[in-house]
């Protein structure tokens, strides 16, 4: 598709144009007191309906979404969002509810929140859940506040250190910093798992928690997690599980069973609520009983047959979100979990793992797997979880960079995998369970074709992307010096 520059609505504005015609007034007109009508020119654009529809339709064509194409963005679990979730979230009784309505009028919504709590506690293997946080990072922050409140309440205020492995997601240290905790990095071993000796060396009576992602960000399930939990508990600290990778363990194992004390979910990853570019999301947290008194208010509770919002929690850290969290996202998560059922959830994870291992197996002769099986051995010798990491050194040695591969994939219709995380010069590929074998095969064929192309000619990699609205952008300038205003005469 060719893309032409899309003008701003302000540039498209034609004086007098209207998107809708209002019916003629059927009540008598009266003069308003001139003192009340100090109209100022708003300068809002005036646009006809068709032009308005075309403008937004053009912009929507520039979106890349799972509904459009394969989106193997590692760690982000870009799975298909079943449309039945949208149906549930747009039901009149949910979508048009007012957050200030009394509990008695909102029993259905409260029942849904309560049962979602029960579902998530069961999936986590933990005792209580707060649905308030509205993103994974927000869940981390809330959980760290809960841990801090616990230690204050137990006269251990000097526990201010949080340990996290060097493969941790950037939000882990960021959440710690936002909570005033000092983050100390724990080394990973060459096989990608946490170095238990290094962990042991860093544990002390100043450590509040250890943040762990399992399966970790290199796509490996750390089977030492229970030993790690013992070490952490012996030191009087909590094991925090970053639950972003729950898509690999649903119904197979539970964080509470392998020693986690508190965790967050990313409903927008694991439970198929839509996400992209930072929102919207929901990051519920689950925890053991001993941490529950500190969780945010309000908490949805059930008394007899009725549901209500409980604010009477004297040790609560308080509110972390207006009203009841990201309600419509929580409706989608509930719909997804209820539709899957227990067996269905386990099937989700088993299929996600199978897809990742199949894809890795198909491309690994051209895309080396630093944490995979030794050369020549099948994936079964050292399987990955729901995602895998490649460092395609032979391709890099030909002068093609990771970014070149990513940009070339965009022209082939694929969203690039995650790049340079959690290690430099890597691609992190997460196919998810919702893709067919045909899609995985097409993607593998494309990856292998690119590996082959890099042997003959690197120029096409350097030019990519060529068929997108924009070519390569200065991403740092876009983030640090964004141009957010427009005045007539500016170039769009």
Name the site residues for ligand PLP (rule: CB under 6 A): 75, 135-137, 169, 171, 213, 217, 242, 244, 266, 281, 283
Name the residue number minimizing CB distance to ligand PLP.
Answer: 136
Q: How far is the CB of 321 from ligand PLP (least distance, A)?
A: 14
CA–CA gap between residue 370 and residue 373 (Å, rounded): 8
Q: Which is nearer to ligand PLP, 219 or 372 (CB)?
A: 219
Q: Which is nearer to ligand PLP, 142 or 266 (CB)?
A: 266
Burial class, 396, CB count within 10 angstroms (exposed 0-12 / middle 13-18 / buried 19+) = middle
Q: Which is nearer to ligand PLP, 169 or 362 (CB)?
A: 169
Contacts 24+ apart (CB under 8 A), 337-342: 337/116, 337/119, 337/123, 337/271, 338/119, 339/82, 339/84, 342/251
Q: Which is nearer to ligand PLP, 251 or 281 (CB)?
A: 281
Contacts of 93 (CB under 8 A, 6+ apart): 108, 109
Q: Which is nearer to ligand PLP, 52 or 174 (CB)?
A: 174
Burial class, 157, CB count within 10 angstroms (exposed 0-12 / middle 13-18 / buried 19+) = exposed
CA–CA gap between residue 477 and residue 465 (Å, rounded): 19
Q: How far is the CB of 270 from ligand PLP (least distance, A)?
A: 10
Kindly write down the DSSP assignment for every residue of 395-426, as one continuous string.
HHHTT--HHHHHHHHHHTT-PPPEES-SSTT-
Q: How far is CA 143 from the centre of its chain?
A: 17
Task: Considering only the C-alpha atoms of the chain, give the largest distance between any 2 of them, rounded to a whole number of Å.
Answer: 87
Q: Which is nearer to ligand PLP, 136 or 325 (CB)?
A: 136
First to last CA, the chain: 21
Q: Residue 292 corresponds to which tokens in the numbers above?
A: 């529950």
Q: Which is nearer to ligand PLP, 361 or 418 (CB)?
A: 418
Q: How far is the CB of 331 from ligand PLP (least distance, A)?
A: 18
Kindly write down the DSSP assignment for every residue of 201-261, as one continuous string.
HH--TTEEEEEEESS-TTS---TTHHHHHHHHHHTT-EEEEEETTGGGTTTT--TTTTT-S
Q: How far is the CB of 428 from ligand PLP (least distance, A)?
A: 10
Q: How far is the CB of 277 from ligand PLP (least distance, A)?
A: 10
CA–CA gap between residue 31 and residue 11 (Å, rounded): 34
Cis peptide before 422 (omega within 30 of 0): yes
Helices and strands counted in the chain (H then E): 16, 12
Q: How far is the CB of 266 from ligand PLP (least distance, A)?
A: 5
Query: How many CB atoms sit inside 10 A of residue 323's CB?
Result: 13
Q: How far is the CB of 142 from ligand PLP (least distance, A)?
A: 12
Q: How far is the CB of 137 from ligand PLP (least distance, A)?
A: 3
Q: What b-and-e string marks burial along 413-448, b requiring 16 or more CB atoms within 10 Å of the CB?
A: ebbbbbbebbbeebbbbbbbbbbeeebbebbbebbe
Q: Which is nearer to ligand PLP, 222 or 242 (CB)?
A: 242
Contacts of 480 (CB under 8 A, 6+ apart): none
Q: Which is nearer to ligand PLP, 248 or 395 (CB)?
A: 248
Q: How far is the CB of 325 from ligand PLP (least distance, A)?
A: 13
Q: Which is nearer to ligand PLP, 75 or 432 (CB)?
A: 75
CA–CA gap between residue 398 and residue 404 (Å, rounded): 12
Q: How far is the CB of 73 from ligand PLP (least distance, A)?
A: 10
Q: Which is nearer to ligand PLP, 219 or 383 (CB)?
A: 219
Taking a C-beta distance cutoff of 8 angstroms, is the pair 382, 373 a contact?
Answer: yes
Q: How far is the CB of 251 from ligand PLP (least distance, A)?
A: 20
């Amino acid at each position: 598709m060719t893309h032409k520059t899309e003008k701003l609505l302000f540039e498209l504005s034609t004086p007098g144009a209207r998107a809708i015609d209002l019916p003629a007034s059927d009540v008598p007109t009266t003069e308003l007191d001139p003192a009340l009508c100090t109209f100022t020119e708003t300068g809002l654009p005036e646009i006809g309906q068709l032009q308005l529809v075309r403008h937004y339709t053009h912009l929507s064509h520039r979106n890349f979404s799972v509904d459009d194409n394969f989106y193997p963005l590692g760690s982000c679990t870009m799975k298909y969002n079943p449309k039945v979730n949208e149906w549930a979230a747009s039901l009149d009784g949910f979508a048009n509810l007012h957050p200030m309505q009394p509990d008695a009028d909102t029993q259905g919504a409260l029942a849904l929140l309560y049962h979602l709590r029960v579902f998530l506690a069961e999936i986590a293997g933990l005792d209580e859940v707060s649905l308030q946080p509205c993103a994974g990072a927000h869940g981390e922050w809330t959980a760290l506040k809960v841990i801090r409140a616990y230690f204050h309440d137990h006269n251990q205020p000097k526990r201010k250190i949080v340990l996290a492995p060097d493969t941790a997601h950037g939000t882990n240290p960021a959440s710690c910093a936002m909570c005033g905790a000092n983050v100390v990095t724990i080394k990973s071993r060459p096989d990608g798992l946490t170095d238990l000796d290094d962990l042991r060396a860093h544990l002390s009576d100043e450590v509040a928690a250890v943040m762990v992602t399992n399966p970790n960000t290199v796509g490996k399930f750390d089977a030492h997690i229970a030993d790690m939990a013992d070490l952490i508990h012996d030191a009087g600290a909590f094991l925090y599980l970053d639950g972003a990778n729950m898509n690999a363990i649903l119904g197979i194992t539970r964080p509470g069973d392998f020693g986690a004390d508190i965790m967050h979910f990313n409903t927008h990853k694991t439970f198929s609520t839509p996400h992209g570019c930072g929102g919207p999301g929901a990051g519920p947290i689950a925890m053991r009983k001993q941490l529950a008194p500190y969780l945010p208010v309000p908490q949805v509770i059930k008394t007899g047959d009725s549901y209500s919002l409980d604010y009477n929690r004297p040790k609560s850290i308080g509110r972390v979100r207006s009203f009841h969290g990201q309600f419509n996202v929580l409706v989608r998560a509930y719909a997804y979990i209820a539709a899957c059922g227990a067996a269905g959830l386990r099937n989700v994870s088993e299929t996600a793992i199978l897809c990742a291992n199949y894809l890795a197996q198909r491309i690994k002769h051209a895309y080396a797997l630093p944490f995979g099986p030794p050369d020549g051995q099948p994936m079964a010798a050292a399987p990955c979880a729901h995602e895998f990491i490649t460092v395609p050194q032979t391709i890099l040695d030909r002068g093609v960079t990771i970014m070149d591969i990513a940009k070339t994939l965009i022209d082939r219709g694929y969203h690039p995998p995650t790049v340079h995380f959690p290690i430099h010069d890597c691609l992190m590929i997460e196919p998810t369970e919702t893709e067919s074998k045909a899609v995985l095969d097409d993607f593998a064929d494309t990856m292998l074709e690119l590996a082959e192309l890099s042997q003959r000619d690197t120029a096409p990699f350097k030019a990519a992307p060529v068929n997108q609205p924009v070519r390569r952008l200065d991403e740092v300038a876009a983030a640090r010096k964004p141009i957010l205003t427009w005045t007539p005469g500016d170039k769009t």
